[in-house]
Structure 1
Amino acid sequence: MLIRLLDIVFAFCGLVFGFPVLVILTLIGLFDTGSPIFRQVRVGRNKKPFTLVKFRTMKPDTANVASHLASASAITPFGGFLRKSKLDELPQLWNVLWGDMSPVGPRPCLFNQEELIAEREQRGVLNARPGITGLAQVNEIDMSTPVLLAETDAQMLQSLTLADYFKYIFMTVAGKGSGDRVR
């Protein structure tokens, strides 16, 4: 209950104070891709689907696959900046406010990432609300290594403390981790 309250306060404050940045990035994104907001159905808590929102970093006609399976040439120059700075994740604060996500938790995957889903299901990871960042992300473990990712997610969930919650957020904001790889 305390974590959910923190999620709501964190998301609300982030959206209020980040509003000018969100507007500027949306306008730049309009010129970059013509469609600055990216929506994609992801695997949520208890395998319930939800629509993740974030800033578009790839060309609009890019195949709907996990980032590590997409071509690096699909990333726009502005998208590269958004990924590197992690500003592409800002709109996910809406997902946090709606209750689909938490700032800290396992990154939500696509329903076609069957190996990762099976590994997470086996370890109870899908019982948790997915997150914007977490232990795997700050240690540069992404969806290209499903077993390691599921193990790391499970480890994080089993030992997550309030201090860790803030630590992963601050590490991410400070630039730790590089995000999902692309080929």
Structure 2
Amino acid sequence: MKAVAVEQRAASSDHLLTADQLNANLGYLRMKRLIDIIGSLLGLILLLPIFLIVAILIKIEDPKGPVFFKQVRVGKDETEFQMYKFRSMVTDAEERLKDLLTLNEVSGAMFKIKNDPRITKIGKFIRKTSIDELPQLWNVLKGDMSLVGPRPPLEREVEEYSSYDKQRLLVTPGCTGLWQVTARNNVGFKEMVELDIQYIRKRTIYFDIKIVLKTVVVLFGSKAAF
């Protein structure tokens, strides 16, 4: 897969996507936003019991820490916004990150390691099942994110992006996407970018719905999640 990704990157480097090109399909964009509003509202209402249970478990394990974790992410057109998650790490996780950077197990402008010592006990479960991502339905309702799209990166990650990589910032980021339902952490940064660009070029309402349905399987756990 890596060889194919490199070939695709080389072949398409002279044909970068543009914002005008992607914003031209108004019908798709309006329908996508309508689905995002309806889907996020229904999700927030139906999943409220899970929100309450997870909040209680987080507080039981770490009474002094907050239930939710918010972090500045980079969205469409490199606009920054606050992304929400259930807190799955110790409260000083960001401060401890600098001591773990050399242990990064994912290539490129990302950071992930298995058995991250900053993750709490309840955090391991909600990350494994992707439950920690559910508060992002609020970001979807606000319009910061979509149900489907490239994952929003951190500012420090974007600083390492090439013009080719920045194509994934031309669309609204998503809660899930092609990368999450096909490869997740089994590929490096370059392969993730290729999957995101593949999605951007192919995206349709049908394709979005297909990815959402596949994501349901991921919510029950994945060996690739960490």
Aligned amino acid, residue 47 of structure 1:
E
Could you report, residue by residue, the CA deviation over 1:158-182 in whole angstroms, capped at 9, with x for unpaired residues? Answer: 112222212211212212755664x
> Which residue matches 2:11?
none
For residue 104 of structure 1, what is the aligned residue in structure 2?
A: 148
Gaps of 5+ in 2: 1-29, 98-109
Amino acid at match of 1:85: T
Identity %: 36
Deviations along 1:77-125, whole A, 9 cap, x unmatched? 111100111110110000000000001000011000133465421xx22
**In the alignment, what sits opposite 1:60?**
91
Task: Supply the distance in 1 between the matched residues of 2:191 and 2:224 (Cα, whole angstroms).
Answer: 15
CA spacing shift, 1:118–1:155, aligned 2, 3 Å: same
Pair 51,9 (structure 1): closer, same or farther in 2 beyond 3 Å? same
Which one is further off, 137-146 or 31-40?
A: 137-146
Structure 1 segments unaligned to the other structure (5+ residues):
none
Displacement after TM superposition at 1:67 (Å):
4.6
Task: Check if 1:154 corresponds to 2:197.
Answer: yes
CA distance in 1, matches of 2:124, 2:88: 7
Supply the RMSD in Å over aligned alpha carbons. Answer: 2.3
d(CA) in 2 for partners of 1:115, 1:69: 19
Q: In 1, distance between residues paired with 2:89 and 2:73?
A: 17
8 Å contact 1:116–1:146 — kept in the other structure?
A: no
Partner Cα separation in structure 2 for residue 12 and residue 82 of structure 1: 21
Residue in 2 that maps onto 1:140: 183
TM-score, length of structure 2 as denominator length = 0.72
What SS does the corresponding residue of 2:42 show, helix, strand or coil?
A: helix
Gap change, CA 1:162 and 1:106, over 3 Å in 2: same
Secondary structure of the equivalent of 1:74? Answer: coil
Letter in 1 for 2:50: V
Deviates more, 1:42-51 or 1:156-165: 156-165
Asked if the contact 2:40/2:137 (under 8 Å) is kept, the reply is yes
**Could you tell me which amino acid in structure 2 is paired with residue 168 of structure 1?**
I
Which of 79, 99, 117 pairs up with 2:123?
A: 79
Matches of 1:101 and 1:29, distance apart in 2: 25
Specify the structure having the higher radius of gyration (Cα): 2
1:103/1:58 CA distance change after superposition, 3 Å = same
SS of equivalent residue, structure 1 residue 68: coil
TM-score w.r.t. the length of structure 1 is 0.88
- For 1:171, the equivalent position in structure 2 comes to 214
Count of aligned pairs: 179
For residues 73 and 114 of structure 2, the distance between their equivalents in structure 1, rounded to whole angstroms, comes to 17
State the match for 2:57 in structure 1.
28
| Further displaced range: 170-179 or 73-82 | 170-179
Kindly indicate whether the alpha-carbon contact (under 8 Å) linking 1:46 and 1:127 is maintained by their aligned counterparts in 2. Answer: yes
Runs (4 or more) in structure 1 with deviation over 3 Å come to: 64-67, 116-119, 141-144, 176-181
Task: Name which of structure 1's ranges 161-170 and 146-155 shifts more when overlaid on structure 2.
Answer: 161-170
Distance in 1 between the 2:149 and 2:186 partners? 14
Q: Shift of the alpha carbon at 1:145?
A: 2.2
1:13 aligns with 2:42: yes
Amino acid at match of 1:111: E
